[in-house]
Amino acid sequence: MSRVVGHPKHRIEDPALLRGNGRFVDDIALPDLLHVAFVRSTVAHARIIGVDVEIAKDMPGVHAVMQAKDLKPALMSLRMPLGASPSSAQNSSTPFVLSDKEVAYVGEPIAMVVAHSRYEAEDAVAAVIVDYDTLPVVTDARVGAVVGAPVVRTELASNVLNKLKVEFGDIEAAFSDAAHVFHDDLLQHRGCGHPMEGRGVLVEVRPGGNSLCVWSSTQMPHDLFHALSAMLDLDENRLRVITPDVGGGFGPKYCLYPEEFALPAAATILGRNLKWIEDRRENFLAAIQERDQYWSLDVATDADGRVLGMKGSLIHDQGAYAPKPVNLPYNSATAATGPYIVPAYSVDVSIVHTNKVPVSSVRGAGYPQAAFAMERMMDLIATELGIDRAEVRARNLIPPSKMPYTKPLKARSGAAMVYDSGDYPASQAEALAAAGWTDFPQRQAAALAEGRHIGIGMANAVKGTGRGPFESGTVRIAPSGRVSVFTGATAMGQGLATALAQICAEELGIEAEQVTVIAGDTAFSPLGLGGFASRQLVTAGSSVHIASKAVAAKAIKAASHMLDVPEEELELSGGHVRVKGNSNRGMSLAEVATRLRGAPGYAFPADVDPGLESSIQWKTDALAYANACHVVEVEVDVEVGHVTINRYVALHDSGKLINPMIVDGQIHGGIAHGIGNALFEVMGYDESGQPLTTTFAEYLLVTATELPRFETIYLETPSPMNPLGAKGVGEAGTIPAAAAIISAVEDALKPFAVRISQTPIVPETLFNLIQKGRAEMAARGEAIS
Amino acid sequence: MKPPPFEYLRPESLDELCVMLAGTENAKILAGGQSLMAMLNLRYVFPDVLIDINRVPGLAGIEIKRDRLRIGAMTRQRKIELDPLVNERAPIVAEALHLVGHRQTRNRGTIGGSLCHLDPAAELPTIALLHDAEIEIAKEGGRRTLPIADFIVDYMTPGIEPNEVVVAVEIPLWQDGHGYCFHEFTRRHGDFAVASAGCLVTCDASGTIDKIAIAVGGVSTVPLRGVEAEEVLSGTSGDDATVEAALSFCDGLDVLGDFHGSADYRKHVARSVLRKTLKTAISRARDRLGGLN
């Protein structure tokens, strides 16, 4: 019987965060600190003819102005290594620490000013004169993919970074046997991550000058540690990387960034402690975005709307560089068939550079686009064949009898893509029932009679979570009795510490509050991967779970010797090993730990190794597949194209829930992100590659006033793929959201026969679609109902 | 996003402020700071001197003298929004203030700051224009009063000299029971409006419109009075057909497009917003008339 796991509990992290006692990068005080501001490219593509720092370097408070050539002595290469990759090798698409020859997007760092305050640093940045010879710009990946298009960087022969084909089944037969074939072209814009805390790097030069401690607001401290060690040719023992409190990751902090190398290199050369805190404008200009995908799809069905095959193409806008292996479009292409049985599938993927900030993952990492593509095709089938949208999906969903279900595709690890568990038809049915799907048409008709256009939409989603290959978890009970968990996973605001503390406390018979979790510090956890792919609870949680069990067993074994009571008569409770049925007899975990610490020459309990601790690196190549069904009700003001979300029902099956309150928060946040993707968030660029949205007045994030009340429903089908039975939840809320909202908007606009093939759908675009619908109906002589 | 260097001055009296204004070049006045601080941090403005008037006494306050509402330039927007006299005698001011930014920004933002910033999509300049407000302006050794129509010179350009400061706005009140409405379309609550409209209206005992004022904001370089629309509706019952006729005033607007809406779309939204505004204001005039009788 679970005491701690599975119960909603307030997050251990929150009292400090809510009282302003958090410790983010910018909160860390170091002596004699100098502040850094970057000179960034103001043009989207140019050759750098010269950089004049003469005025800047003599300005008040300026300590140094450094360019690539000045950092070179401290770096093995000016070109960055490929992050998050098995080889770490650089290539012709990894970014530069500082660019000295050519710039390929607005915001690319060219030089850095080191000054006594950030104010003075920014004053000097404004005085650095960069002489640009501007070059042709590519802002649209479709244009960039064409042979003969200008190249995004002159070192490239082509903007097409990679082409791949994702396919299975007999696609030709599927289409030749089809009763119906439907086509759509989809444009999907994702938007950015926008954590409350931007990026930030702090470097301490340790006494002696040849050791560094680097704090970075990153999801990947271990990746940074190894990359820095190699780039600075620094003995691993002389480097420590720490992720302190992080004010949100959301994907963009997954990559290695130029600033994370420029600061340690400059600190080494100058022998000074340095800090750089990204401001919001820089976050818009230089932090990873996940931006545009262009899908062109044909779907073949039988007479009843059962999918026989889907084929088409996907062009993925990669931006100017690829700081890590480009996995997103592979995620998209392999995830598109989602929870449905699709016998044959073939999609040609082109990954194309553009003169915009590099693209990598933002919450969902290619999956929201996949869900949008598939769900839009499902709605298209339903509309064209006159079948209820839910019914079309029900006819195509993988039934529980086929679980585990193998998609004829491979995950990144090379393992087969196996949906491990879940009941998709039951999930859909329950979500629809909760949302009142079947009686909606009556409500819709009544509203229309009053001149109100309401609509309902739905979308299903499947997300592979808990990506491996491993995550570390060490559980240690100190001689004081204090319990610590150390992990290579990264706490970035999701409540990881609370969840891991719960998992540990459950096995040790203590309260979660008695467990301290130390995450994201390479000095404490030599092995670790970090935060990405809704993985940390599954992977680090499994390691902590197994390690906690091992520590509990070890405590009982040692206490058995010390108390001279058989192990099977002992149990853990309240921080003690107790004799079952005799609560007065036993010993504290502190006493056991003290004994296992050892004392010079004194004998140890037989068959027990020193230290009351265990380190586990639970490994997996498989993913645990979570599923979801969202049902949304909207109202559209057809006069101006404004959408209001009136109701939002989200059903999620993320396996066994460790802390349902945290899960609820993650789902709410995920949906909010999805609403932004559906209706608000546009990262705009003009034709010259100048970003148009560089403040929150221009880039519209959803705020509380735009959000409906969320109704969440949880199913808990345990995953057989990990000892917790858990599935990840961080991204699941985002994935079906835009598809469900757009489906609802389209439903509301049925009287105008509007088809929506893009995200986001902003009021003017929607208004234009409505006007087009009106015009077409008028041309046909139809009255608008 | 740190401001460029500037000299900071903090006068403790209006006289001291006026002397400072007369003796400085390229100075900016800091009132509530809700626009200026962001513009400084983005380095959109480079003042040599920042004159913080938050400690100047006598610039904040709300009073009604006869049929005029006088609001001190440094009165916080939230204070005005919650003021019982304002809510009773000029309810459109409170209605519009609900839409100005957010409660947190209204706690700091001032009416004088908003008028001097003169963003065409801001609510308060449109309200001032609708009410034929008068702007009280001070400088070293003198004071003057400027009708709002003359105060609004051009895009974000108020009709004051570098050595002058706005000290108050005087709003002629409409008779008790007048109809009013301020309505706008924004992407999110608190954003600058894609288009906004305000209307004040009174009807005689027979329900005929005897006085009406109409203004639109957010669509052009400055907030605009809908004089033609006022003429169309005056002396009518304000029925739906007449309202539609009045909307044609929007067709002649010189509308600006931006990232959040093309000129055509904004013009369309302005029509839609104005339609709702006029209908609500007229209906309120009738209801309140009935209530008063």
Is B262–A705 a contact, with Cβ atoms under 8 angstroms apart?
A: no
Confidence of residue A61 (pLDDT cuts 50, 70, 90): very high
Mean pLDDT for the stretch of residues B128-140 = 98
Q: Assess contact for A177 and A363: CB atoms under 8 A.
A: no
**Taking CB atoms and an 8 Å cutoff, what residues of chain B touch A127?**
none
Is B268–A705 a contact, with Cβ atoms under 8 angstroms apart?
A: no
**Taking CB atoms and an 8 Å cutoff, what residues of chain A touch B269?**
640
**Taking CB atoms and an 8 Å cutoff, what residues of chain A touch B259?**
684, 692-693, 698
Cβ-Cβ contacts under 8 Å between A and B: the total is: 58
- The architecture of the domain spanning B179-292 is 2-Layer Sandwich (3.30)
Is the model's pLDDT at A456 over the cut of 80?
yes
| Distance from C-alpha of A373 to C-alpha of A141, rounded to nearest angstrom | 18
Q: Which H or E run includes A573?
A: strand A570-573
Is B188–A695 a contact, with Cβ atoms under 8 angstroms apart?
A: no
Whole-number CA gyration radius for chain A = 28
Mean pLDDT for the stretch of residues A23-33 = 96
Is B4–A126 a contact, with Cβ atoms under 8 angstroms apart?
A: yes
Confidence of residue A782 (pLDDT cuts 50, 70, 90): confident
**Taking CB atoms and an 8 Å cutoff, what residues of chain B touch A640?**
185, 268-269, 272
Q: Which of B5, B190, B262 sits opposite A764 (nearest CB)?
A: B262
Mean pLDDT of chain A: 96
Q: Assess contact for A14 and A513: CB atoms under 8 A.
A: no
Is A693–B187 a contact, with Cβ atoms under 8 angstroms apart?
A: no
A320-341 pLDDT, tens digit per residue, is 999 999 999 999 999 999 999 9
Count of CA atoms in the C-beta half-sphere (13 A) of A10: 6
Is B189–A640 a contact, with Cβ atoms under 8 angstroms apart?
A: no
Q: Which H or E run includes A457?
A: strand A453-465
Is A700–B190 a contact, with Cβ atoms under 8 angstroms apart?
A: no
Fold of B7-52: 3.30.43
CATH no., domain A468-619: 3.30.365.10
Is the model's pLDDT at B289 over the cut of 70?
no
CB-based contact, B3 to chain A, within 8 Å: yes
Measured between CA atoms, how close is A303 to chain B, in angstroms? 42
Best of B265, B266, B276, B279 to disrupt the A interface (most A CBs within 10 Å) is B265
Mean pLDDT for the stretch of residues A267-287 = 97
Confidence of residue B287 (pLDDT cuts 50, 70, 90): confident
Looking at residue A449, its pLDDT comes to 97
Looking at chain B, which residues constitute the CATH 3.30.43 domain(s)? 7-52
Q: Which of A123, A640, A706 sits opposite B185 (nearest CB)?
A: A640
Q: Which of B188, B259, B269 sits opposite A684 (nearest CB)?
A: B259
What tokens appear for B115 in the block? 């008028």
What tokens appear for B206 in the block? 């027979």
Q: Which of B5, B185, B259 sits opposite A123 (nearest CB)?
A: B5
**Taking CB atoms and an 8 Å cutoff, what residues of chain B touch A764?**
260-262, 265
Is the model's pLDDT at A319 over the cut of 70?
yes
Query: Per the omega criterion (within 30 degrees of 0), is the bond before A404 cis?
Result: yes
Domain range B62-172, its CATH number among 1.10.3720.10, 2.40.50.320, 3.30.465.10, 3.40.50.300: 3.30.465.10
CB-based contact, B191 to chain A, within 8 Å: yes
User: Parallel, antiparallel, or unpaired for β A570-573 and A576-579?
Assistant: antiparallel
Q: Assess contact for B30 and B50: CB atoms under 8 A.
A: yes
Looking at residue A781, its pLDDT comes to 85
Measured between CA atoms, how close is A124 to chain B, in angstroms? 10
DSSP for residue A705: G
Looking at residue A1, its pLDDT comes to 54
DSSP for residue A399: P
- E strands, chain B, are 7-9, 27-30, 49-52, 62-65, 68-72, 134-139, 142-147, 152-154, 157-158, 164-172, 179-185, 195-203, 209-217, 224-225
What tokens appear for A723 in the block? 């000892």
A357-407 pLDDT, tens digit per residue, is 999 999 999 999 999 999 999 999 999 999 999 999 999 999 999 999 999
Looking at residue A90, its pLDDT comes to 82
Query: Per the omega criterion (within 30 degrees of 0), is the bond before A760 cis?
Result: yes
Q: Assess contact for A488 and A550: CB atoms under 8 A.
A: no
Which residue numbers of A have CB closer than 8 Å to B's CBs? Answer: 118-119, 122-123, 126, 279-281, 639-640, 642, 680, 684, 692-693, 695, 697-698, 700, 702-703, 705-706, 762-764, 767-768
Using N-to-C axis directions, what is the helix angle for A737-748 and A367-385, rounded to 10°? Answer: 30
Looking at chain B, which residues constitute the CATH 3.30.465.10 domain(s)? 62-172
Is A703–B185 a contact, with Cβ atoms under 8 angstroms apart?
A: no
Is the model's pLDDT at A94 over the cut of 80?
yes
Is B1–A698 a contact, with Cβ atoms under 8 angstroms apart?
A: no
- Give the angle A172-A178-A184 at the CA atoms, nearest 5°: 85
CB-based contact, B259 to chain A, within 8 Å: yes
- Report how far Cα A625 is from the mean position of its chain's Cα atoms: 16
**Taking CB atoms and an 8 Å cutoff, what residues of chain A touch B185?**
640, 642
The residue of chain B with its CA nearest to that of A701 is: B188
Is the model's pLDDT at A590 over the cut of 90?
yes
Mean pLDDT for the stretch of residues A111-128 = 98
CB-based contact, B55 to chain A, within 8 Å: no
Is A700–B262 a contact, with Cβ atoms under 8 angstroms apart?
A: no
Confidence of residue B258 (pLDDT cuts 50, 70, 90): confident
Confidence of residue B4 (pLDDT cuts 50, 70, 90): very high
Q: Assess contact for B131 and B170: CB atoms under 8 A.
A: no
| Distance from C-alpha of A109 to C-alpha of A96, rounded to nearest angstrom | 8
Q: B8-25 burial, b if ≥16 CB within 10 A, otherwise e?
A: ebebeebeebbbbbeebe
Is the model's pLDDT at A785 over the cut of 60?
no
Looking at chain A, which residues constitute the CATH 3.30.365.10 domain(s)? 423-462+625-785, 468-619
Measured between CA atoms, how close is B60 to chain A, in angstroms? 29
Measured between CA atoms, how close is A706 to chain B, in angstroms? 7
Looking at residue A68, its pLDDT comes to 98
Is the model's pLDDT at B290 over the cut of 60?
no
Give the least confident one: A3-7, A87-91, A176-180, A444-448: A87-91
Is the model's pLDDT at A413 over the cut of 90?
no
Best of B45, B188, B258 to disrupt the A interface (most A CBs within 10 Å) is B188
CB-based contact, B192 to chain A, within 8 Å: yes
CB-based contact, B262 to chain A, within 8 Å: yes
**Taking CB atoms and an 8 Å cutoff, what residues of chain A touch B3?**
119
Looking at chain B, which residues constitute the CATH 3.30.390.50 domain(s)? 179-292
Q: Which of B38, B259, B272 sits opposite A692 (nearest CB)?
A: B259
Q: Which H or E run includes A560?
A: helix A536-563
Mapping DSSP onto H, E and C, the string for A1-19 reads: CCCCCCCCCCCCCHHHHHC
**Taking CB atoms and an 8 Å cutoff, what residues of chain A touch B192?**
697
What ipTM did this prediction achieve?
0.94
Q: Which of A123, A703, A764 sits opposite B265 (nearest CB)?
A: A764
Q: Which of A279, A700, A762 sits opposite B1 (nearest CB)?
A: A279
**Taking CB atoms and an 8 Å cutoff, what residues of chain B touch A767?**
265, 268
CB-based contact, B61 to chain A, within 8 Å: no
Is A640–B188 a contact, with Cβ atoms under 8 angstroms apart?
A: no
Mean pLDDT for the stretch of residues A583-612 = 92
Q: What counts of helices (H) and strands (E) characterise chain B?
A: 12, 14
Measured between CA atoms, how close is A648 to chain B, in angstroms? 19
Is the model's pLDDT at B110 over the cut of 50?
yes
CB-based contact, B268 to chain A, within 8 Å: yes
User: Parallel, antiparallel, or unpaired for β B7-9 and A470-477?
Assistant: unpaired
Is the model's pLDDT at B209 over the cut of 70?
yes
**Taking CB atoms and an 8 Å cutoff, what residues of chain A touch B6?**
none
Looking at residue B293, its pLDDT comes to 42
Q: Which of A118, A639, A684 sits opposite B272 (nearest CB)?
A: A639
Q: Which of A123, A700, A764 sits opposite B188 (nearest CB)?
A: A700
Is B185–A642 a contact, with Cβ atoms under 8 angstroms apart?
A: yes
The residue of chain B with its CA nearest to that of A277 is: B1
B54-95 pLDDT, tens digit per residue, is 999 999 999 999 899 999 999 999 999 999 999 999 999 999
Kindly report the pTM of this predicted structure. 0.96
Is the model's pLDDT at A300 over the cut of 50?
yes
**What is the number of other CB atoms lying within 10 angstroms of the CB of residue B57?**
9
**Taking CB atoms and an 8 Å cutoff, what residues of chain A touch B4?**
122-123, 126
Q: Which of B1, B261, B262 sits opposite A280 (nearest CB)?
A: B1
Percent with pLDDT over 70 in chain A: 100
Q: Which H or E run includes A190?
A: strand A180-192
If you classify domain A423-462+625-785 with CATH, what class do you get?
A: alpha beta
